[in-house]
């Protein structure tokens, strides 16, 4: 055992210089992000108990051309989703003859801050609730409408629209609500759990190796403050749980269900890891 430890240490020492060298060239960009005249917090001190000292938005890890797309909300194709959400707001659906607007007449005012403070504790369901699930809850309980299928275009558009009302506001969860802290703990455990044939945890890439490159992919801290995010790869809005599932799939593991207890716990914990960063929805990523 001792031998192995020494060996590992010497291996690390042997390679430390080239690793340092390459890492220096792949640091997050030193740039400021202003959207529609609002300055975003893309770099901030981490909250107490966080493994990092400084939090960086994923925006800082992207190439200048990708960054430019998010900077200009006219050019940002994710804004099509926000516009679609704004239209859906007043569409009446369900047996109660209501739309979102029936209860929330001024989304720009009523929804401000919502996107910065979810997931919240849902005392009825005794589990965390995110924006997608809150929309479904409203649809079922108040509108008499069917919940959306996971990743329905309308679900992503409404979520993006709601979160966009908090553009620039710092992410801040109230973990004292209900049992949210317990779910945070569970999410933390999952964050460090290795899955799949490739045997990888979230932390392997986004904590241990952020700033470095996997092939041409510049690993970020895995912040979630910009979801739903317009991804160039799919050329459409991508939800947070879609991304969670994509990452887990890439470890060659069975893919957890969207909005399952595990992924709600993970959403709670990972959202906390971005405390203080601005809501950027809809962010633009590669």
Partner 1 sequence: MASKPRVKLPKSASAGEIITIKTLISHEMESGQRKDKNGEVIPRQIINKFTVTFNDKTVFEADIEPAISSNPYFEFAVKVPESGTFKFTWVDDDGSVYETEEAIEVA
Partner 2 sequence: MQMNRRSVLGVFGGAATVAAIGLPVGLANATPEDTMAKIKEFAGDKEPQTGGKLTLNTPEIAENGNSVPVGVSVESAMEGDDMVEEIMILAEGNPNPDVVTFKFSELSGEAIAETRMRLAKTQDVVAVARMTNGDIHMAKAPVKVTIGGCGG
Partner 3 sequence: MTSTLRALVLASGISAVALTGSAIANDVKPEAVAFSDAGGIETPVAAQAGSADAGKKILTDRGLGNCVACHQVSSLDAPFQGNVGPSLDGVADRYEPAMLRAIIVNPKKALYEGTIMPGFYTLDVGKHVREDLVGQTILSAQQVEDVVAYLQTLKE
| 83-142 positions binding partner 1, by CB under 8 A | 83-84
From the list 13, 25, 74, 214, which residue makes contact with partner 1 (rule: CB under 8 A)? 74
Q: Is 151 in the site for partner 1 (CB under 8 A)?
A: no
Residues that bind partner 3 (CB under 8 A): 3-5, 7-8, 11, 14-15, 18-19, 22-23, 26, 193-201, 204-205, 208-209, 212-217, 219, 248, 251-254, 256
Write the interaction track for partner 2 spanning residues 133-172; mark x where CB under 8 A is met and - where it is not. Answer: ----------------------------------------
Write the interaction track for partner 1 spanning residues 236-255; mark x where CB under 8 A is met and - where it is not. Answer: x-------------------
Q: Which residues pair with 202 in a beta bridge?
A: none
- Residue pair 167/38 in contact (Cβ under 8 Å)? The answer is yes
Side-chain half-sphere CA neighbours of 275 within 13 A: 17
Q: Is the dihedral of CA 65, 226, 183, 175 positive or negative?
A: positive
208 interface partner picked from partner 1, partner 3, partner 2, none, CB below 5 to 8 A per type: partner 3
What are the backbone angles phi and psi of residue 121, rounded to the nearest 5°? -85, 130
Tell me which of 103, 138, 202, 247 is the catalytic residue: 247
Other Cβ atoms within 10 Å of 224 Cβ, number: 23
From the list 47, 178, 246, 276, which residue makes contact with partner 2 (rule: CB under 8 A)? 246
202 is catalytic: no
Q: Is 80 in the site for partner 1 (CB under 8 A)?
A: yes
Task: Considering the complex, state which of residue 118 and residue 191 has its C-beta at the smaller distance from partner 3.
Answer: 191
Task: Considering the complex, state which of residue 248 and residue 277 has its C-beta at the smaller distance from partner 3.
Answer: 248
70 alpha-carbon distance from chain centroid: 16
Residue positions counted in the chain: 286
Other Cβ atoms within 10 Å of 108 Cβ, number: 9
Task: Considering the complex, state which of residue 79 and residue 219 has its C-beta at the smaller distance from partner 1.
Answer: 79
How far apart CA 54 and CA 49 sit, in angstroms, is: 12
Query: From the CB of 243, what's the least distance to partner 2, in Å?
Result: 10
74 interface partner picked from partner 2, partner 3, partner 1, none, CB below 5 to 8 A per type: partner 1
Q: 51 vs 45, 64, 165, 204, 268, CA distance in Å? A: 11, 28, 30, 13, 16
Q: Which residues pair with 34 in a beta bridge?
A: 39
From the list 3, 64, 124, 254, which residue makes contact with partner 2 (rule: CB under 8 A)? 64
The structure tokens listed for 49 are: 């108990």
SS3 231: strand
The structure tokens listed for 11 are: 């291996």
**Site residues (vs partner 1, CB under 8 A):** 74-75, 77, 79-80, 83-84, 235-236
């Amino acid at each position: 055992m001792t031998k192995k430890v020494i060996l590992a240490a010497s291996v690390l020492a042997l390679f430390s210089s080239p690793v340092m060298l390459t890492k220096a060239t792949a640091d997050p960009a030193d740039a400021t992000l202003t959207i529609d005249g609002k300055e975003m917090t893309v770099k901030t001190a981490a909250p107490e108990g966080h493994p990092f000292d400084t939090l960086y938005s994923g925006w800082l890890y992207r190439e200048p051309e990708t960054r430019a797309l998010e900077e200009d909300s006219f050019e940002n194709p994710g804004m099509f989703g926000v516009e679609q959400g704004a239209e859906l707001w007043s569409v009446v659906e369900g047996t109660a003859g209501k739309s979102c607007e029936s209860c929330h007449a001024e989304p720009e005012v009523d929804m401000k801050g919502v996107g910065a403070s979810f997931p919240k504790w849902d005392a009825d369901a005794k589990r965390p609730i995110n924006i997608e699930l809150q929309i479904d809850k409203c649809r079922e309980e108040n509108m008499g409408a069917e919940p959306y299928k996971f990743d329905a275009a309308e679900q992503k558009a409404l979520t993006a629209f709601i979160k966009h009302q908090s553009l620039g506001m710092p992410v801040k969860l109230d973990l004292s609500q209900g049992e949210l802290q317990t779910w945070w703990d569970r999410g933390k455990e999952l964050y460090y759990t290795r899955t799949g044939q490739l045997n990888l945890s979230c932390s392997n890439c986004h904590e241990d190796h952020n700033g470095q490159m996997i092939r041409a992919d510049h690993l970020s801290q895995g912040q979630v403050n910009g979801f739903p995010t317009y991804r160039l790869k799919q050329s459409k809005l991508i939800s947070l749980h879609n991304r969670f599932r994509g990452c887990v799939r890439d470890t060659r593991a069975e893919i957890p269900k969207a909005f399952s207890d595990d992924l709600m716990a993970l959403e709670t914990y990972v959202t906390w890891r971005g405390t203080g960063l601005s809501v950027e929805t809809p962010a633009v990523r590669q």
